[in-house]
Every structure is written in structure tokens, then in C-alpha cells.
Structure 1
Amino acid sequence: MASNQKEEVKLFGIVGSPFVVRVEIALNLKGVQYKFVEEKKGEFSDTLIKYNPVYKKVPVLVHNDKPISESLVILEYIDETWKQNPILPSDPHKRALARFWSKFIDDKCLDAARKVAFSLDEKEREEGFKELELAFQFLEDELKDKFFGGEEIGIVDITGVFIAFWVPIIQEAIGLKLLTSEKFPKLYKWSQDFNNHQVVKEKLPNRETQLAFFKARYESIVASKD
């Protein structure tokens, strides 16, 4: 439960967005009650644009009428506002490292995955695959415990929901093998443990719906080349 009964928390998001799911997992971990306001891709409401006029995108967390944008910024805000079940370490060095690896996932993994999943150019897709492979090796080497946050999930794990949940779906949709127990045993086990964590599992979108989306998208890419 939120610490103050009068608090109002709203989350503006799209169902199936990894960035929105990050925020949902953090709120769930903290036990914060919130209202989910569903937005439609490409048809964002005037309210959302008012709350996030700079980027005009989800997620936007509105806490007592004060909006916060950008998923990593929102995660830190949630951690500082609701102290229970911390997702960032208290030690300054470990905290800085957690921020570093969260940014690494956004900078090095997401763009590479987009190339793999959506690029029309075969060479660009291969390039994306190699970039992801290299990034995953860094993460494999960094993972020392059950989770990046130790025995409990932390900000790096939550940021990495795209890797744990969406990368295996993309692999299956387009017939690739990347995040496997043979190539990256620690990262693969982490993805299983993370997806099956009760707090995470409750907020993940329907797997079959996501798989159907990526399969259809990939088939349209293949068809456009014929």
C-alpha cells in the first residue's frame, strides 16, 4: 500500500510497451496502488501531450498531479518516493554502477534489438545481432548473483525486462538463436528467474499476443522484399 491514503498515482501507458512495463513492475514491487490510463500508439491523448510536451511519449507517471517522464527517471523517482523494497543500492558506488548498467541496456541493447526485429536490410540486421551478442556478453560477465540487484530484483533487472521477456519472443518470431543457455548460461537463467518472479509475472503482457505481433511484423518485412 502507498504510504499516504490521499496520494493519487496514475500511469499513462501502452499495453505491451517494455518501457511502461518497467514502471508497472517497480510500482508493484513497492506495493503502490495506481490507475493505469491506456493510450493508443500514434493517437496520444491531449492529456498525455500536456504532461509530456517534450517527448510526447509514454510512460508518464503522474503523482498528485505532478508528471514525471522517461522510464529510467520514473524508476528513480519511485524508489526515492516509496522507500520500501529499494531498487537502487544505498552505497554510492554500487548505485552509480546500477545507473551505468541501466543506461547500457538502453544504449546498447534496445537499438540493436530494433535492428534485428524490424530492419529491412539484411546487413543491418546482422550488424544488430552482433551488437546484441557483444552487449549480452558484457551483461553475462557482470551478473554475479541471481539478479543484477543481488538476491532481490533491482533497477538493472527491471530495466532489462526487454531482454528477459521480449528478446526470446523476437528470437522465436524470426528464427534466431541468441539468448540461449548454451551461449549465455547466467543471463539465460536470470531471464527465467526474472520472468517467473511473482512481482514481474503479474505485470508482463500476454506472450502469445506479443509473439503474434512480432511474427506478423517479420512476415511483412520478408514479403516486402519479394
Structure 2
Amino acid sequence: MASNKEEVKVFGLVESPFVTRVEIALKLKGVEYKYEQEKVGNLSETLKKYNPVYKKVPVFIHNDKPISESLVILEYIDETWKQNPILPSDPSKRALARFWSNFIDDKCSNGARKVCFPLDEKEREKSIEETKEALHFLENELKDKFFGGEDIGFVDIAAVVISFWFSPIQEAFGLKLFTIEEFPKLYNWSQEFNNHPIVKEKLPPRETLLAFYKGRYEEHFGSK
């Protein structure tokens, strides 16, 4: 098993849910790490060197070996530090966890992006419908307190974008994508997850995210 004394770094942005995924996983595992703060629109040359393909956060460094893409990083963390596993031991359940985590990125994160920055109003309406359909699939998939059962796991961590980011995004852009009335199980899950002591410690201030997304709104649509 890897030692906590090994060098671990995370290059990140406060505004990124994908970085927060990595930080939650490391905190769950009890792994100490150094956080390298990047700036939106002005990423460091060091980060670009470590992630020349995508040039984006998060970048995870373990003993000078860089790994990119948050879901890939989560799997690496789980395989390297065996304590407090976040993926199920059963192969079929592991495959399902990977499936739903990729689904969250493909249908929910990308869906919200298309809703916020559509090519036109017709695309926005279509994206709202598709994103809500994706959320309904997750609502039906949620069988326990968490997607991981009684303890938070891989899918819960992947879904932090829904549990915490969707709220300030909705407020900044004047949307109603994710509400307690339409998604009661998923909404209650989000409250449980956000208030989990380890998760709560790693979530950024909501006001910071709201200010960020209001700024994005004004850049794209102009202030009103």
C-alpha cells in the first residue's frame, strides 16, 4: 500500500467541481497532498506541461507522475490507497459505478453547459429537456442513502457537480433544472452528501461560485 508520505499534488481551480472530486477522494482516504492553485484563463506553464493534451485542471501528481481527467484520477487514488474504498469490490457493481459516473459527465455536466450557453433558444429548450431526463434516470437509480449505499462512493463523488454546483448555476442563469419538487430523492441525497463532514470541508464557498457564474453570464449575455 502506498504511504501517505509520498509526494502528492493537485493542480486545481476553486470553481471546478472536477477538482473537488479529487480533493474529496483524497480526504476520504486520509492522503495528505499539496494544492497548487491555478487561475481561470491563465493556467500555469507547469500545468500545461503536465497535461499537454487537454491543458486543464485537475492534474494529479504522484511522485512526479502526472494523471489527468478527474474520473481517471479517482480510480487511480482508489487503487493506490486501499483504505476506505470508493469503488465496489464486485466487478459488475464497479462497472455500473463507472457507467453512471460517465453518464453524469456526459449527460448532466455537458447538458448544463449547453443550457447555460446555447446556440439559440431552441437548443436551450432541447438541452433543458435532455438534462432533466438525465436527472430522472439518476433519481430512479438512487436506492439508498447514497449511490454507494450507506457510505459515499464513486458515483456520489462524481455527482458533486449536481449536488453543489447546480444551485449557484441555476441562480446565476435564472434556470430551474434541479428542484426538490421534481427530484425529491436526488435533492435529499444532495443535502446528505453536501453535509457529510468530509465533503463539506472540501466544498468551495457557494458565494464564490455564484459570483463566478454571474460573471460568466454577464460575459456571455451582457449585464441586465
TM-score bracket, normalised by the shorter chain, equals over 0.9
Q: Which amino acid in 1 is paired with 2:179?
A: T
Matches within 5 A, 1:22-171: 22-119=21-118, 121-171=120-170
Give the match's secondary structure for 2:222.
helix
CA contact 1:68–1:74 (8 Å) conserved in 2: yes
CA contact 2:4–2:31 (8 Å) conserved in 1: no
Extract unaligned runs of 5+ from structure 1: none
Q: Which amino acid in 1 is paired with 2:182?
A: K
Extract unaligned runs of 5+ from structure 2: none
Give the match's secondary structure for 2:203.
coil
TM-score, with length taken from structure 1: 0.93
Deviations 1:54-97 (A, max 9, x none): 11111111011111111000000000011111100000010000
Give the match's secondary structure for 1:114.
helix
CA contact 2:4–2:32 (8 Å) conserved in 1: no
Deviation at 1:104, TM superposition (A): 0.4
Cα distance change of structure 1 residues 44 and 223 upon mapping to structure 2, 3 Å threshold: closer
Deviations 1:4-24 (A, max 9, x none): 254010001112211111101
For 1:105 and 1:58, how far apart are their aligned partners in 2?
A: 18
Cα distance change of structure 1 residues 93 and 172 upon mapping to structure 2, 3 Å threshold: same
Runs (4+) off by over 6 Å: none
Matched, 1:203 2:202: yes
Backbone CA RMSD of aligned residues: 1.7
TM-score, with length taken from structure 2: 0.94
Q: Which amino acid in 2 is paired with 1:54?
A: V
For 1:4 and 1:193, how far apart are their aligned partners in 2?
A: 31
Q: Which amino acid in 1 is paired with 2:204?
A: P
CA contact 1:149–1:155 (8 Å) conserved in 2: yes
For 2:214 and 2:85, how far apart are their aligned partners in 1?
A: 37
For 2:120 and 2:210, how far apart are their aligned partners in 1?
A: 22
For 1:210 and 1:193, how far apart are their aligned partners in 2?
A: 20
Cα distance change of structure 1 residues 145 and 5 upon mapping to structure 2, 3 Å threshold: closer
For 1:216 and 1:120, how far apart are their aligned partners in 2?
A: 19
Deviations 1:112-141 (A, max 9, x none): 100222336222222221111000000001
CA contact 1:118–1:217 (8 Å) conserved in 2: no
CA contact 2:2–2:80 (8 Å) conserved in 1: no
Deviation at 1:47, TM superposition (A): 1.6
Deviation at 1:174, TM superposition (A): 2.6
For 2:2 and 2:68, how far apart are their aligned partners in 1?
A: 22
Aligned length: 224
For 1:125 and 1:48, how far apart are their aligned partners in 2?
A: 33
Q: Which amino acid in 2 is paired with 1:177?
A: K
Deviations 1:183-204 (A, max 9, x none): 0111010111111111111111
CA contact 2:50–2:66 (8 Å) conserved in 1: yes
Q: Which amino acid in 2 is paired with 1:98?
A: A
For 1:115 and 1:8, how far apart are their aligned partners in 2?
A: 38
